[in-house]
Amino acid sequence: MPDWKEMYLSLMRETEFAVRILVEAQKKCEEMYLQAPEPSVFVLPSVKCEEGEEPEAETDIKDPPG
């Protein structure tokens, strides 16, 4: 008969090891995100239309200002 206690303890040790690897990977990625430069943000001009009308979609993509 298998030693269920040793099987359980082995599983728990390995699970804890895997969780620690995942936590370290998450911390590393969070630090990379915090160290990254701020993205450029710009406001797109709004399309004015009559009340109740939907604005027409533009088919050509324009470069952002700046």
pLDDT tens figures, 15-41: 999 999 999 999 999 999 999 999 888
Tokens of 51: 């009340």
Structure confidence by residue, pLDDT tens digits, 50-62 = 676 666 666 566 6
In a 3-state reduction of DSSP, which class is residue 8? Answer: helix
pLDDT number for residue 21: 98
Q: pTM higher than 0.75 for the full model?
A: no
Tokens of 38: 């701020």
Structure confidence by residue, pLDDT tens digits, 3-12 = 999 999 999 9
